[in-house]
Every structure is written in C-alpha cells, then in structure tokens.
C-alpha cells in the first residue's frame, strides 16, 4: 500500500469495493452500524430517518478521541489506513477507503494521501479524485467542511454513497424538490428548498475537473464562502452540485451532516425521532444553516 504505485485500474472500483466489503466483514475490520429506517414527510420530501442505538457509543468514542487530541495525543485513522478497508489510489493525491462504521452499504471515503485540513477549501486534485469516483460509481459525493458541518475527522476526506438512496421515484429524497433535470447551469436558489443553498446542473461525464472546480468556485461566490475555515456542506451527483453554508453542527440536539440536505437523517433513538417529527426536518435543516 504505497502512494502513487497502486493506482486502481479504470473500471475496477466497484468490484474492488464489493470484494473488500465481503472480506472486511469477515475479518471484523468493517463494523456496520445497524439501523431501522422510518420515513418522515415534510414539505414534499420523504425524509429517510435512520435510528441507530449504537450511535451513542460511537459519539462517546469520538468525544474521547477529541479529548485525547485536545490533550495533545492526536490520532489520525487516515494517516495509515487499515489494510482490510483500503481499496487503492484513485489519483496520485487521493486514495479510496471503506468507511469503517457504515450506516449505508458500500460507503466510501476519498482521502488525501498527505495530511490536509478538513476545513481547507476543496482543490483541483480533490475534484480530479471525485471525477474518477463518479465516473466509476453512480453515487452521491458529499463533503462536511469541518466539525460545524458534521465532520468527525480533521484529515481531509470526501465521501460517496451509491445511488439510489431511496425506493421512491427520485434517486434521492431531495430530488422531489430539486428536480435535477430542471436545474440551470449557473448557480441558483431552488425556490422550494427552504434552507440557504446554491445549486446548479453539472455533467461529470463531459466536464473536466478544472471545470468542476470552477463550478464549486461559482457556488461559493454565490454564497460568499471565501475563507478556509468557513463551514459548509457540498453535495454532488453526476448531474448536479449543491453547496449549503453551515451556522451550527446541531439543532435542538439533532446532529446534521451533508446527507441531511439530500434527505437522510441519522438519530440515536426514538426520542430523537419524535423530536425530529415535532420540529420538522426542514426546520432542523434551516436551523443548522441560517
């Protein structure tokens, strides 16, 4: 497992993911988080809410890790990826890794070989790696820029979950309001999405990574996101990109990452689910972004 020397061959990523998933389940390196899924309808979107009782334990572990880091013992799980979870280099600058604690099957991490901060802006090499992944897998790529945007790890990583995420008509719950085929090429605000955002149509098959980085720049410009440490979530499929600014990590105790804006929530227990129903998912999304 070395930088540059083990580039994944074109067309092999999906088979590699499936083969490594089976193996890593067998060795215990992969530890899926069991969940139950409920649908909560709000403002025209069937939000998928996954309830994960073991999330409390994971949050406690992450807190313990943050405390250790504060005490100067920094542990970076991406500095030396676990061999059973490692998939190979996507580009000279990025490698692919299975998420060790997936809620969704075949959840992939797109990680920089060298340490870069999760709060630094996405760069051309990041979009080159995203381009490679999206050309191999029809999925949702997302980025949680820093802890306020839902990131638990400070080493730069984008993520991908394969589509479709929902069984309904759209491939993602948010598709019902986003209507990807009707999006313009220039950044716009989708009137029916009631949280701050900018979105536009893209074509990962024909646009180069330079052009995709330019689209990211245009979305940032639309929202006035200029600085490294500004928290935001990026969501991208083969057909659209959306940027959401973040004001806080949680609202009324409910933690949100980029998947929330695609219509996917993760909660710790049924009390949280009821709280979410009471407040309404859209209000929670507004609460963390404005």
- Tell me which residues touch ligand AMP (CB under 6 A): 77, 82, 85, 97, 99-101, 109, 144, 150-153, 257
Question: CA 88, CA 132: separation in Å to the nearest integer?
Answer: 12
**Backbone φ/ψ region at 24: left (φ over 0), alpha (ψ -120 to 50), beta:** alpha
* Least separation in angstroms between CB 84 and ligand AMP: 10
Nearer to ligand AMP, 148 or 152 (CB): 152
Nearer to ligand AMP, 150 or 287 (CB): 150
**How would you classify the pairing of strands 232-236 and 240-245?**
antiparallel
* Least separation in angstroms between CB 155 and ligand AMP: 9
H or E, element range at 115: none
Contact assessment for residue 131 and residue 90, using Cβ atoms and an 8 Å cutoff: no
Cβ contacts of residue 217 below 8 Å, gap of 6+? none
Nearer to ligand AMP, 31 or 269 (CB): 31
Burial class (CB in 10 A: 0-12, 13-18, 19+), 44: exposed
* Paired strand residues for 27: none
Nearer to ligand AMP, 153 or 207 (CB): 153
* Least separation in angstroms between CB 87 and ligand AMP: 11
* Least separation in angstroms between CB 244 and ligand AMP: 14
* Least separation in angstroms between CB 203 and ligand AMP: 27
Nearer to ligand AMP, 209 or 257 (CB): 257
**Backbone φ/ψ region at 131: left (φ over 0), alpha (ψ -120 to 50), beta:** alpha
């Amino acid at each position: 497992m070395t930088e540059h020397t083990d580039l994944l061959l074109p067309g092999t990523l999906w088979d590699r993911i499936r083969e490594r998933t089976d193996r890593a389940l067998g060795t215990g390196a992969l530890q899926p988080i069991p969940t139950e899924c409920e649908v909560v309808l709000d403002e025209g979107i069937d939000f998928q809410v996954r309830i994960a009782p073991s999330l409390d334990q994971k949050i406690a572990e992450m807190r313990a890790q943050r405390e250790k880091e504060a005490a100067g013992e920094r542990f970076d799980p991406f500095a030396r990826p676990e061999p059973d979870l490692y998939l190979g280099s996507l580009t000279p600058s990025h490698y692919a890794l299975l998420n060790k604690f997936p809620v969704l099957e075949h959840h992939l991490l797109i990680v920089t070989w060298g340490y870069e901060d999760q709060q630094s802006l996405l760069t051309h090499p990041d979009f080159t790696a995203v381009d490679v992944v999206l050309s191999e897998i029809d999925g949702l790529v997302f980025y949680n820029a820093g802890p306020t945007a839902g990131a638990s790890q400070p080493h730069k990583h984008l993520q991908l979950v394969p589509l479709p995420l929902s069984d309904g008509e759209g491939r993602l719950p948010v598709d019902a309001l986003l209507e990807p085929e009707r999006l313009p090429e220039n950044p716009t605000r989708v009137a029916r999405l009631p949280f701050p955002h900018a979105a536009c149509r893209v074509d990962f098959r024909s646009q180069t990574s330079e052009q995709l980085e330019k689209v990211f720049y245009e979305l940032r410009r639309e929202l006035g996101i200029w600085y490294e440490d500004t928290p935001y979530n990026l969501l991208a499929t083969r057909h659209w990109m959306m940027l959401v600014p973040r004001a806080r990590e949680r609202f009324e105790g409910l933690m949100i990452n980029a998947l929330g804006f695609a219509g996917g929530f993760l909660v710790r227990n049924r009390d949280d689910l009821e709280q979410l129903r009471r407040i309404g998912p859209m209000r929670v999304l507004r609460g963390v972004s404005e």
